[in-house]
Chains A and B, each alone.
Chain A
């Protein structure tokens, strides 16, 4: 049984950066994608990007290119999302989620973290 546990809520100033962590337990970590999805207040789900830890190379949605870094630490089974130059419209719940197929860059999300609320406010 795969379990993903995310870091807690954050309040950030516009222009600053935030890092959200996602620790995985159970199952294989290295060969399944960890993706990041967010939900802004009153909005739907939006894919930010993802990484397959053993392959090292992350993929990002174009709208976040240059502002986001996704990485994974195999030794601690933890994935990280860093978002820079924060704006008020980055206020959202950020979820990590594990892909459902081994070594698949594109995938469905079989297991989800509990979500981390990031609030951007001056």
Chain B
């Protein structure tokens, strides 16, 4: 199985801050890496697909980059509605696997 390692596991930031999360795959996965926001009590939302493509309707403050084994997810200006846990997910191979999550809180 492909292991996805996210860091940090949690972070605290102020509104308007730039937030960066990383995800490392245990093997090369090309650009088959996606990012989700998961708010408590809600279903996850797809934000970024194929490492850097913004899902339709998602605000442009979200972005992603990377290829191979190392990926980065950025929120350019943290908003209150971004308080959530963020997950990366690979679809290079079955089983589909997720990172352990990054919980984003307000400082």
Binding site for B on A (CB under 8 A): 35, 44-47, 50, 59, 61-62, 95, 97, 100, 104-110, 112-115
Q: Name 27 A/B residue pairs within 8 A (Cβ), A-sorted.
A: A44-B99, A44-B100, A45-B36, A45-B87, A45-B98, A59-B94, A95-B44, A97-B44, A100-B46, A100-B49, A104-B91, A106-B91, A106-B92, A107-B96, A108-B34, A108-B46, A108-B49, A108-B50, A109-B44, A109-B46, A109-B89, A110-B46, A110-B55, A112-B43, A112-B44, A113-B43, A114-B43
Q: Is A35 in contact with B43, judged by CB distance below 8 angstroms?
A: no
Closest A-chain residue to B4, C-beta based? A44
In the complex, the chain B residue whose C-beta lies closest to that of A48 is B95
With CB as the reference atom, state the residue of chain B lying closest to A105.
B94
Q: Is B81 an interface position by the 8 A CB rule?
A: no
A44 near B87: Cβ-Cβ < 8 Å? yes
Number of residue pairs across A and B with beta carbons under 8 Å? 61
How long is the Cα–Cα vector from A115 to B97 in the complex, in angstroms? 19
Question: Considering the complex, which residues of chain B in the window 71-107 have a beta carbon less than 8 Å from any beta carbon of chain A?
Answer: 85, 87, 89, 91-101
- B95 contact set on A, CB distance < 8 A: 47, 59, 61-62
A7 CB to nearest B CB, Å: 15
Taking A61-B95, A100-B46 as contacts, is the C-beta distance between A108 and B89 under 8 angstroms? yes
What 1/0 mask marks residues of chain B from 35 to 50 whose CB sits below 8 Å from any chain A CB? Answer: 0101000011110011
Q: Considering the complex, give the chain A residue whose CB is closest to the CB of B48.
A: A108
